[in-house]
Each structure stands twice: as structure tokens, then as C-alpha cells.
């Protein structure tokens, strides 16, 4: 059954490390290029898109020639400092090819917790959107610690959704959506198509907090972000970012991933 997101003008798209990064940690330029072309289509249709992207630490691992992903906080911060430039260059080049300008916005929780700084961030992002620029948000990992330790920017995407009064949150990850584990032992776990607001808390309690090797956010942190979006009057979708034209298809109403409404 087709979903109706026709009223969702302002959309926050969170891109997980597992989606934007290759196995060696470097940002996946080909994926970013096709992602940029999808955003151009959505812009042409009157949508405003805000991107929250992970991947700086992985890109830093590649740039610095590290054999494995950094483990200590200071190592992660150093890798993020080196990788952020690489990540944004790939975004810049890909979006330029689609005729879309981008801007880098680095935030911390202190920024979002301060009325003055959060208002300034909001005003800046609003102006960028009016100018047709796509803001690409990441945590300022060099000086902040929360997301770098706990959530692969999932929480940051929820806070951005709230700050900007968005209508829809799309969380792109490396799985098809939230899985119904009731029959997982038989190998036939299925994607949960829709989760109503009243059922989100129960779903959240039943999900483990495991992560993959490249990122720091598990499914629980994504469900928590989706829950926050719903509680602020929006909808959220968790879906696989590697599906062809996934962003355009989700916004068009194809029943991909798990919808929280």
C-alpha cells in the first residue's frame, strides 16, 4: 500500500557510516553521486533536504592509512578531524555535478542546548535552505564526545529534526528496516512495515544495542531517533540506503523500510 508524504516539505536524511563508507573506510564517491542526483530531484519537486552524515572517522582512517578503526576517544577525534575534509570534498564534488551547492555545518550538543547558539544555527540553516543549498551536518567530533561514543549521529538527526521543525526523518542504514525477530531462528525474519506511536516504546525495549564494525549506532538508537521525530509531530522511515533510488522512492510513497507514524 502506497504511503502519502505529499505534505512533508522539509526532510532530514541521516546517512549511516555503513552506507556512505566503503570497506576501507573511505567515503563511497559513487554512492554519494547518485544520492546527490536524488536530492536534486526532490529539490526540483519543492522539498527542502537537510543531510546529517556520518563517515568522518572512517574517511580519516583511510586518509591516515590506519589499519583498523580507531578505538580510543582521542584517536577517533583525530581521525574525524582528518576525515571530515575528505568526506566533505566528496560531497562537494558529487553535488556540484548535480548542480546543487552544499554547506558544512558542524554542531555539538552544547550548541543545541544553548538558546543563542541553537537559534543562530537554525537561522543559518533556514537561510541555506532558502538559497537552495543542502546543509550537511555532522557532529564537531574534534571537541565533542556524545555522538562519537554513542550513536553514529542518530541522536543528532533527531535533534536536528526538532530544531528545524522538519516533517519527515529518513534514516538510511545497511539493513532493510526494523526486523520482526519472532521467527529469526528459522531464518525468515521480516521487515516490520509500520509502527504506530503507541507501539514504539515496546519495540525499542525489545531491540538489542549491537553495532557493526564501521559505525557506532545500532538499531535501537535509530528507533529512538524515529520515536523523537514522531513525538514532535512528524514521521520517520528506517530503510536500506543501498537500494537503488531509495530516497526518491521513499518520498514518493513506496512501502520501503519501516515507517513510524
Q: Is the pLDDT of residue 32 over 80?
A: yes
Distance, CA of 78 to CA of 71 (rounded, Å): 11
* pTM of the model as a whole: 0.91
Per-residue confidence (pLDDT) for residue 190, from 0 to 100: 86
Count of C-beta atoms within a 10 Å radius of residue 90: 20
pLDDT tens string 129-171: 999 999 999 988 677 666 555 456 899 999 999 999 999 999 9
CA neighbor of 104 nearest in space, from 148, 159, 68, 141 = 141
Is there a contact between 158 and 228 (Cβ–Cβ < 8 Å)? Answer: yes
Q: How far is CA 176 from CA 50, 157, 183, 214, 223, in A?
A: 22, 19, 16, 18, 14
Confidence of residue 113 (pLDDT cuts 50, 70, 90): confident
pLDDT at 219: 87
In this predicted structure, the answer to whether residue 213 has a pLDDT above a threshold of 80 is no
Under a CB-based contact definition with an 8 Å cutoff, are residues 69 and 25 in contact?
yes
pLDDT of res. 214: 47
Query: Are 61 and 27 a contacting pair, CB within 8 Å?
Result: no
Q: Tens digits of per-residue pLDDT, 138-148?
A: 988 677 666 55
pLDDT digits (tens, 9 = 90+) for 33-88: 999 999 999 999 999 999 999 999 999 999 999 988 888 888 988 999 999 999 99
Q: Is the pLDDT score of 220 beyond 50? A: yes
Q: Rounded mean pLDDT of 2-15? A: 96
pLDDT for residue 208: 59
CB 58 within 8 A of CB 25: yes
Residues near 196 by Cβ (< 8 Å), separated by ≥ 6? 261
Nearest Cα residue to 100 out of 59, 139, 48, 155: 48
Which tens digit of pLDDT belongs to each residue from 221-260? 899 999 999 999 999 999 999 999 999 999 999 999 999 9
Domains of the chain: 10-260 (3.40.1160.10)
Amino acid at each position: 500500500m502506497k504511503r502519502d508524504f505529499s505534505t512533508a516539505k522539509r526532510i532530514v536524511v541521516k546517512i549511516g557510516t555503513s552506507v556512505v563508507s566503503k570497506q576501507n573506510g573511505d567515503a563511497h564517491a559513487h554512492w554519494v553521486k547518485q544520492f546527490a542526483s536524488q536530492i536534486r530531484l526532490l529539490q526540483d519537486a519543492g522539498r527542502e533536504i537537510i543531510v546529517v552524515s556520518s563517515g568522518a572517522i572512517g574517511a580519516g582512517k583511510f586518509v591516515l592509512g590506519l589499519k583498523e578503526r580507531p578505538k580510543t576517544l582521542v584517536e577517533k577525534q583525530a581521525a574525524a578531524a582528518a576525515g571530515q575534509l575528505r568526506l566533505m570534498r566528496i560531497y562537494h564534488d558529487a553535488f556540484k555535478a548535480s548542480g546543487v551547492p552544499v554547506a558544512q555545518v558542524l554542531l555539538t550538543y552544547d550548541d543545541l542546548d544553548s538558546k543563542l547558539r541553537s537559534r543562530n544555527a537554525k537561522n543559518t540553516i533556514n537561510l541555506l535552505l532558502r538559497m537552495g543549498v543542502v546543509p550537511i551536518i555532522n557532529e564537531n567530533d574534534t571537541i565533542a564526545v556524545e555522538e562519537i561514543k554513542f550513536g553514529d549521529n542518530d541522536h543528532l538527526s533527531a535533534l536536528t529534526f526538532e530544531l528545524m521543525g522538519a516533517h519527515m526523518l529518513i534514516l538510511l542504514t545497511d539493513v532493510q528496516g526494523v526486523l520482526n525477530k519472532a521467527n529469526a531462528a528459522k531464518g525468515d525474519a521480516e521487515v516490520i512495515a509500520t509502527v504506530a506511536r503507541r507501539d514504539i516504546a515496546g519495540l525499542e525495549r525489545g531491540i538489542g544495542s549491537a553495532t557493526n564494525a564501521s559505525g557506532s549506532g545500532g538499531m535501537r538508537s535509530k528507533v529512538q531517533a524515529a520515536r523523537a521525530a514522531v513525538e514532535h509531530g512528524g514521521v520517520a522511515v528506517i530503510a536500506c540506503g543501498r537500494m537503488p533510488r531509495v530516497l526518491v522512492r521513499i518520498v514518493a510513497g513506496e512501502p520501503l523500510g519501516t515507517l513510524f507514524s
